C-alpha cells in the first residue's frame, strides 16, 4: 500500500533511537524474573488523533516513531487498520465494546452514556479474574466504577486537585488551560517530565510495581496527545525543524472536498486565528509530540521489563482516529471519512505474537476487544461485531478473505445541516469562551450519516442521500478525483457498493437475542463472513 509520502520501505522500520535530551534511567537495572500468572497481561496503548502515515515504516522522512517502528518488526503491524468512526468518544466506545457506533448508539461525543452493548472489555476482564486499570483519557461510556483502578488525565491536565500534584505539574496543567485547545507558537514551558505522557507512564509504572504481580491485568493506557492543543516542549519542539515536508495538498483543493470542508477551513481561520499562517509550526508541534509519545511508550515498555512483566504481556499500540495535519489546509478532524482521519496505526507485540512485521489485512479498532477475549480465555460476548485477530497474530491459519475489506461510519443522523440553515450556529461556542475557540465536532460537521468501505486499492463512501464517492487510492491517495458515476468505473462502483452492503447488513445488531427457542449461529473467532460455525445459546 502507498502512503501519502511514498512506497513503504522494507528497511525503514528498523530505525530506532531515543530523542537527544530525553530523560533516561540513570542506572542500568537488572530485570526482575517474570512471574507467570497463567494468562498474559493486556496493555492497550491508545493515543488521540494520530496519523497512521507519519512514521518511518510508512516512508515518512522524519523519524517520529522509532520505538514503535522497531516493535512493528518484532511483532505485527497493520497498515490497513481503520477506526469505526473518526471521532474520539464513539471510537473509544466501539473499541471497548467491539461494536460499530451505529449499534452502540454512541455515534457522537454527546451520547456516550447511551451506549448499548452486552459486555465491554473491562467487564470481560473482571469476569476472567483480571485487574482492570485506566491510565489517561477515558472519553467513553465508562466511569471510575467500571474499573478496579482509575488514574485519569484529560487534555488539560491530570484530573486531580492541584494540591496532590507536584507544583510544577500543577503549573503546567494551568498553562494547558490557557491555550483554548489551539496551539502554542513557542516551546511549552517546563521539561518533558511535566508533559502528560511522561506523568502517565510514571503513574502506570507505580501501579504495576504495587499491583502488577497480584494477578493478570488489562490496562487501558490512553494518551491525550497529539490531539490539540498543539504544544510540545524542547527538545521535541525544534527536533524536526527544516525536515518536515509540506502536506500533499492545501486549501486550494477544498472545492473538490465539499461544503463541510470549506466551512471547517473558514471557521478554523476565524476562531483559531493564525491556523493557515502558522500551519508549519502547528504541524511541527504535532510531530514533535508524536516523537515524545513514542519515547514514553519506550519508557513504559522498559519499565515492564525492569519489573519482570514484559515477557507475560501483550501490547497493542493504536489511536482512536487521525488528524488532517495540514492536508486540505486543515488541522484536527471532523468533516468526513478521509484516509488521513480514518486509517490508524496498529502494532501488536509481546507474549505469543509472531514476529511477522507488515500485514495487509483490513482490520478495525473493534477487533481489539474480541482478540482480548480470546487471549483471556473468555467467550466473545453476544453483540460483539469485531473479529478476533488472535489466530493471525499467533501465526495460525485464518480465512484471508475474511479480512479483505473494512467499514467505517460518520455522523449522528438526520439531514446534513448547512450554513443556510442558521449562519449564527457556527459561532455559538466562540461566545462561551474568553478566547476564540473552535470545536470541529459540532452539529453541522457531524450531521447526517455516511459509510465507507475499503477493499484493495479502492474506497467507496456513500451517504444517506445516495451520493457516492469512489477513489483509487493507489493513484489518488488524498481523495480528490471522485470516479463515482463515470461509466468506465461503473463495475468497480457496483462491486464496492455490494461490499458495503454486505458490511452494513452483516453489522446489523444481534442483541437482544430471542428470549425463547431460537439459537444463534456464529463463526469461531467471531468471524463475520467466513469460518467454522459454533452455536451460541
pTM of the model: 0.92
Neighbours of 312 (CB within 10 A): 21
Q: What's 114's domain CATH number?
A: 3.40.720.10
**Residue 452: partners with Cβ closer than 8 Å, 6 or more residues away:** 337, 342, 407, 408, 409, 410, 459, 460, 461, 462, 500
pLDDT tens per residue, range 130-184: 999 999 999 999 999 999 999 999 999 999 999 999 999 999 999 999 999 999 9
CA dihedral 432, 435, 439, 440 (to 10 degrees): 140
Is residue 34's pLDDT more than 80?
A: no
pLDDT at residue number 422: 75
CA distances from residue 156 to 45, 152, 173, 229, 230 in whole angstroms, order as listed:
19, 11, 6, 9, 12
pLDDT at residue number 419: 81
Is residue 251's pLDDT more than 80?
A: yes
Q: Please give the mean pLDDT across all residues of the chain.
A: 91
pLDDT tens per residue, range 399-448: 999 999 999 999 999 999 988 887 666 655 554 555 667 789 988 899 99
Is residue 86's pLDDT more than 50?
A: yes
Rounded to the nearest 5°, which phi and psi values hold at 53? -90, 0
* Averaged pLDDT, 329-335: 96
pLDDT at residue number 27: 41
Domain that holds residue 181: 39-398+411-448+507-536
Is residue 290's pLDDT more than 60?
A: yes
Residue 25 lies in a domain: no
* Averaged pLDDT, 241-268: 94
pLDDT at residue number 267: 86
Residue 27 lies in a domain: no
Residue 177 lies in a domain: yes
Residue 367 lies in a domain: yes
Assign 270 a pLDDT band (cuts: 50, 70, 90).
Answer: confident
Residue 501 lies in a domain: no
Q: What angle do CA 103, 139, 161 make, to 5 degrees?
A: 160
Contact call for residues 20 and 66 (beta carbons, < 8 A): no
pLDDT at residue number 74: 97
Is residue 469's pLDDT more than 50?
A: yes
Looking only at the bridges linking them, the beta strands covering 520-523 and 533-536 are antiparallel
Is residue 201's pLDDT more than 80?
A: yes
* Averaged pLDDT, 455-463: 98
Assign 24 a pLDDT band (cuts: 50, 70, 90).
Answer: very low
pLDDT tens per residue, range 339-391: 999 999 999 999 999 999 999 999 999 999 999 999 999 999 999 999 999 99
Residue 374 lies in a domain: yes
Assign 29 a pLDDT band (cuts: 50, 70, 90).
Answer: low
Residue 12 lies in a domain: no
Looking only at the bridges linking them, the beta strands covering 313-319 and 41-48 are parallel
* Averaged pLDDT, 328-348: 97
Is residue 5's pLDDT more than 90?
A: no
Task: Write out the H or E segment, with its range, that includes residue 497.
Answer: helix 490-506
Residue 462 lies in a domain: no
Is residue 235's pLDDT more than 80?
A: yes
Task: Say how many Å lie between the first and final Cα of the chain, rounded.
Answer: 41
- Max avg pLDDT among 238-252, 261-275, 507-521: 238-252
CA distances from residue 491 to 285, 487, 488 in whole angstroms, order as listed:
44, 8, 8
For the chain, how many structural domains are there in total?
Answer: 1
* Averaged pLDDT, 510-532: 92
Amino acid at each position: 500500500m502507498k502512503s501519502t509520502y511514498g512506497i513503504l520501505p522494507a528497511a525503514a522500520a528498523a530505525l530506532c533511537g531515543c530523542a537527544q535530551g530525553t530523560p533516561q534511567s540513570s542506572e542500568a537495572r537488572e530485570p526482575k524474573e517474570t512471574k507467570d500468572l497463567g494468562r498474559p497481561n493486556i496493555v492497550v496503548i491508545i493515543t488521540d488523533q494520530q496519523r497512521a502515515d507519519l512514521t518511518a515504516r510508512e516512508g515518512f522522512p522524519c523519524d517520529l516513531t522509532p520505538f514503535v517502528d522497531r516493535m512493528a518488526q518484532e511483532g505485527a503491524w497493520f497498515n490497513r487498520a481503520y477506526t469505526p468512526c473518526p471521532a474520539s468518544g464513539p471510537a473509544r466506545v466501539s473499541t471497548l465494546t467491539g461494536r460499530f457506533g451505529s449499534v452502540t448508539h454512541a455515534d457522537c461525543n454527546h451520547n456516550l452514556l447511551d451506549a448499548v452493548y452486552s459486555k465491554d472489555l473491562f467487564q470481560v476482564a473482571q469476569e476472567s479474574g483480571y485487574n482492570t486499570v485506566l491510565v489517561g483519557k477515558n472519553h467513553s461510556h465508562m466511569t471510575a466504577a467500571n474499573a478496579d483502578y482509575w488514574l485519569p488525565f484529560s487534555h488539560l491536565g491530570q484530573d486531580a486537585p492541584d494540591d496532590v500534584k507536584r507544583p510544577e505539574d500543577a503549573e503546567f496543567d494551568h498553562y494547558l488551560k490557557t491555550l483554548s485547545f489551539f496551539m502554542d507558537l513557542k516551546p511549552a514551558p517546563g521539561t518533558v517530565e511535566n508533559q502528560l505522557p511522561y506523568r502517565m507512564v510514571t503513574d502506570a509504572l507505580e501501579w504495576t510495581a504495587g499491583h502488577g504481580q497480584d494477578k493478570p491485568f488489562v490496562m487501558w493506557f490512553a494518551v491525550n496527545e497529539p490531539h490539540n492543543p498543539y504544544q510540545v516542549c524542547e527538545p521535541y519542539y525544534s527536533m524536526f525543524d527544516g525536515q518536515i515536508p509540506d502536506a500533499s495538498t492545501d486549501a486550494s483543493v477544498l472545492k473538490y472536498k465539499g461544503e463541510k470542508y470549506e466551512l471547517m477551513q473558514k471557521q478554523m481561520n476565524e476562531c483559531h486565528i493564525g491556523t493557515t499562517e502558522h500551519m508549519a509550526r502547528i504541524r511541527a508541534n504535532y510531530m514533535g509530540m508524536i516523537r515524545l509519545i513514542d519515547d514514553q511508550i519506550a519508557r513504559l515498555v522498559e519499565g515492564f521489563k525492569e519489573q519482570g512483566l514484559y515477557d507475560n504481556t501483550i501490547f497493542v499500540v493504536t489511536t482512536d482516529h487521525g488528524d488532517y495535519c495540514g492536508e486540505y489546509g486543515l488541522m484536527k478532524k471532523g468533516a468526513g471519512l478521509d484516509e488521513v482521519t480514518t486509517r490508524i496505526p496498529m502494532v501488536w507485540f509481546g507474549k505469543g505474537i509472531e514476529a511477522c512485521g507488515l500485514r495487509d489485512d483490513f482490520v478495525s479498532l473493534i477487533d481489539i476487544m474480541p482478540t482480548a477475549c480470546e487471549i483471556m480465555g473468555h467467550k466473545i460476548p453476544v453483540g460483539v461485531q469485531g473479529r478476533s485477530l488472535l489466530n493471525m497474530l499467533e501465526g495460525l491459519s485464518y480465512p484471508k478473505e475474511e479480512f479483505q475489506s473494512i467499514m467505517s461510519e460518520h455522523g449522528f443522523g438526520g439531514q446534513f445541516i448547512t450554513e443556510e440553515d442558521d449562519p449564527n450556529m457556527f459561532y455559538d461556542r466562540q461566545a462561551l469562551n474568553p478566547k476564540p475557540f473552535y470545536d470541529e465536532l459540532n452539529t453541522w460537521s457531524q450531521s447526517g450519516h455516511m459509510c465507507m468501505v475499503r477493499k484493495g486499492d479502492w474506497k467507496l463512501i456513500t451517504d444517506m442521500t445516495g451520493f457516492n464517492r469512489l477513489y483509487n487510492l493507489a493513484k489518488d491517495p488524498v481523495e480528490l478525483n471522485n470516479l463515482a458515476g463515470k461509466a468506465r468505473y461503473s463495475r468497480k462502483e457496483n462491486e464496492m457498493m455490494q461490499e458495503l452492503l454486505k458490511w452494513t447488513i452483516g453489522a446489523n445488531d444481534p442483541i437482544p437475542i430471542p428470549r425463547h427457542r431460537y439459537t444463534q449461529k456464529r463463526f469461531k473467532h467471531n468471524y463475520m463472513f467466513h469460518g467454522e460455525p459454533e452455536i451460541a445459546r
